[in-house]
Amino acid sequence: MIELDHLIAPEQSEYTLWVVALLTLPLLSGLISAFLKQQAPYGSSFLIGLNLVVAGFLALSLWDEPVSIRGSWFSLAGNDFTYSFFLDRLALAMSVIVNFVALLVHLFSIEYMREDPSKPRYFAYLGLFTFSMMGIVLFHNLLFMFIFWELVGLSSFLLIGFWFEKKSASLAANKAFILNRIGDLGFITGLMILYTQFQTLDLDAVKSLMAISEIEDGNWVVAFKKAGQEVMASLDGRWLSAAGIALFCGAVGKSAQFPLQVWLPDAMEGPTPVSALIHAATMVAAGVFMLARIFVLLDAQALEVVAIVGAVTAFMAAIAALSQFDIKKVLAYSTISQLGYMVLAMGVGAFSAGIFHLITHAFFKAGLFLSAGIIIHQLHHLEKGGQKFDPQDMRVMGGLRRKMPVTFFAFLLCSLALVGLPGFSGFLSKDAILLDLAVWADEKGGGFYIPEVLAFMTVVFTAFYTFRMILLVFFGEFRLAGILGRNQLENELHEGNGWLTVPAVIFALLSLSIPFGFTLNPEDSWLMQALPTPMYVVPVAYAAQSLLDIPHETFEVLHGLVNAVSIGLALAGLVLAYWVYRPGGKLQKSFIEKREPVGVFGQVSFYHWYLNALYEKIILKGILAKARGVAWFDRWIVDEAVNLLARLQVVIAYLTRWFDRVFVDGLVNLTAHSIGKVGQLTRSIQSGNIQAQILVTFIFLLTLILLLVL
């Protein structure tokens, strides 16, 4: 019988200090930037760079033998609440990537935020973010993951609302935080369930306990020893699936999955480098990372939910991206849709494919955002003389490739990766996902072809909106000049300097497929091999069929087909996009003049399926109205009820007094009438009349006697 206390026994390693450093350096960078004032950018960037070195060192030295470090945080009711780091390849890869992206973004920001007076705050937030992100990556304990999960949410809140004087920004920040909170409810519920069953939240322990737990007539039973005596924990089996789904809710919030994805587009209110770091490369990927961590704990039902949600998200977002004007919005929606791919991958059990896509996406999407950032930055410089325009609106752009070749180059490469054309990283990862998806669909059959269909349609749309973006931004003539009526404007526009371009170019180069292996078959990519898909540990009765159990031939058979279809679809997308938005094409013109797309499809797409409307106009309003109702209820019903009691007492008092004085007379008059036939005092018996009082007293006593004696 397995002993819980052994599972969560403290572990040490000579790398502990390094890990701690890896975790805390970013925090430090955040803190110092508060004091460095104007030097903050360089200081914090340096520390992040340092951290990258640490990460690299750890990655190199621990790549083949993962280390786990564990200690006790505190104990409650005999349960040890442990903290534990687990540096397996996943964690190492993630920490390298996070630090890498963070570093480049820092450098980029040095230029991008140069004029902003509150730079220190900005870099402090960035540091805080990197710190909490590293927390999620390094900790191997659900409780700690949740803690840093929330901290990430906080830092994202702060960064989105960085320009807080913009109402829209602060509102977007609130939205992001609250929607994430909703997701986190699920996370907490998951924690409750797992803790109730296993009495620990340490992932290692949870996994090994999950491995020995069984399903006995619908009950999820696990037996283990704790502090010597046996513990026989048993819950209704449905809680097992519930746990998986609940934890997944956390991912839904964080990685902007349906139905909580609406916060991500608004999050673009934040500075563009932030969007690159947080809302493209790292934080939103945290959901996927978390799914990867709990991958083996998910049972069939949970996985199905995950897959479907992922597919739906990918599709919806792709549709939404089709008709946006704001370049960042397009990128945001494409991010959502790509995240959808990753989640879908996890859902179908394509663990390594999902991670692979996460990583490739991190690079090319960051590249896209940075390039977009350059454009926005440069356009921003054109604002002068009160001539306001929205530098993110693609309708003011066009023909930029002439003036900003480097940016164009970077943007193009990243876009191709996004579209997923052979030779680019995106191709490999997406191909892997689609292949596994196809196999999964074939295995399950029936309605499970729908995700596949959605995923493949998404390929077309992705290609379409990507090229639409490129065409609108870099080709045709520079429309802003026309709008502002300053013909020489184009000459004032010029390429961003090295601070800006270098990071973008680096990302561009990383979105080629070479870094991941010179091949067209994702199987051969070293990263895929480095991160093999693990086996599920959930009880067999509930476990899904693992892709590893499926004979390799199946994949071989489908591979060519999937390749062909996806490439074909992508090209179709390109052609379609070119046909619609080619420079001088009248569709492009007509489109550009329009304030917003027409037609049902256009509207649905532009308004992202009206999700916002649904949430804000209906649900939120409803809740607020209900709140007011409750407040009214409290004030006028509950409170008044109390006051009423107080009043009631006064009423009683009045009644007694009435009884004491008035009723006396009433009775008196009454009796007086009756007696009055004999005596002649009917006229005048009034209050204060002693006889009356005596009389009533006696009557009262006599009635008492009658009541009690007889």
Q: Least Å distance between CB 239 and another protein? A: 8
Q: Assess 627 for contact with another protein (CB under 8 A).
A: yes
Buried/exposed 441-477: b ≥16 CB within 10 Å, e otherwise: bebbeeebeebbebbbbbbbbbbbbbbbbbbbbbbbe
| Chain residues 673-692 in contact with another protein, contact rule CB under 8 A | 675, 678-679, 681, 684-691
Q: What is the DSSP letter of 3?
A: B
- DSSP H or E segment with residue 169: helix 167-198
User: Cα–Cα distance between 402 and 495 in angstroms, integer?
Assistant: 10
Encoded one letter per residue, x for contact with another protein by CB under 8 A and - for no contact, window 459-498 reads ----------------------------------------
Nearest to 111 by CA among 498, 426, 532, 555: 498
Q: Assess 78 for contact with another protein (CB under 8 A).
A: yes
Q: Least Å distance between CB 167 and another protein? A: 5
Encoded one letter per residue, x for contact with another protein by CB under 8 A and - for no contact, window 151-170 reads x--x------x--xxxx--x
- Under 8 Å between Cβ of 321 and 339: no
Task: Please work out, in degrees rounded to the nearest 5, the angle formed at the alpha carbon of residue 698 by the alpha carbons of 695 and 699.
Answer: 85
User: Which one of 69-77, 309-317, 318-326, 531-539 is the stretch in contact with another protein (CB under 8 A)?
Assistant: 69-77
Q: Assess 563 for contact with another protein (CB under 8 A).
A: no
Among 12, 39, 75, 387, binds another protein (CB under 8 A): 75
| Chain residues 163-202 in contact with another protein, contact rule CB under 8 A | 164-167, 170-171, 173-174, 177-178, 181-182, 184-185, 188-189, 191-193, 195-197
Count of CB atoms within 10 A of residue 347's CB? 26
User: Cα–Cα distance between 44 and 103 in angstroms, integer?
Assistant: 9
Which residue number, 128 or 397, has a Cβ lying nearer to another protein? 128
User: Cα–Cα distance between 560 and 555 in angstroms, integer?
Assistant: 9
Q: Least Å distance between CB 312 and another protein? A: 23
Nearest to 46 by CA among 103, 98, 94: 103
| Chain residues 271-300 in contact with another protein, contact rule CB under 8 A | none
Q: Least Å distance between CB 709 and another protein? A: 5
- Under 8 Å between Cβ of 431 and 420: yes
Which residue number, 75 or 487, has a Cβ lying nearer to another protein? 75
| Chain residues 210-239 in contact with another protein, contact rule CB under 8 A | 233-235
User: Cα–Cα distance between 98 and 467 in angstroms, integer?
Assistant: 28
Ranges of beta strands (E only) in 227-279 are 229-236
Q: Least Å distance between CB 525 and another protein? A: 37
Which residue number, 561 or 705, has a Cβ lying nearer to another protein? 705
User: Cα–Cα distance between 203 and 82 in angstroms, integer?
Assistant: 10
Q: Least Å distance between CB 664 and another protein? A: 8
Question: SS3 helix, strand, coil % of the chain, rounded to 5?
Answer: 75, 5, 20
| Chain residues 631-670 in contact with another protein, contact rule CB under 8 A | 631, 634, 638-639, 641-642, 646, 649-650, 652-657, 659-661, 664
Tell me the site size for another protein, rule CB under 8 A.
88
Which residue number, 530 or 675, has a Cβ lying nearer to another protein? 675
Which residue number, 487 or 649, has a Cβ lying nearer to another protein? 649
Nearest to 226 by CA among 4, 374, 381: 4
* Sheet of 214-216, strands arranged across: 214-216, 219-226, 229-236
Encoded one letter per residue, x for contact with another protein by CB under 8 A and - for no contact, window 123-152 reads --------------------x--xxx-xx-
Q: Least Å distance between CB 237 and another protein? A: 13
- Single-letter amino acid, residue 255: S
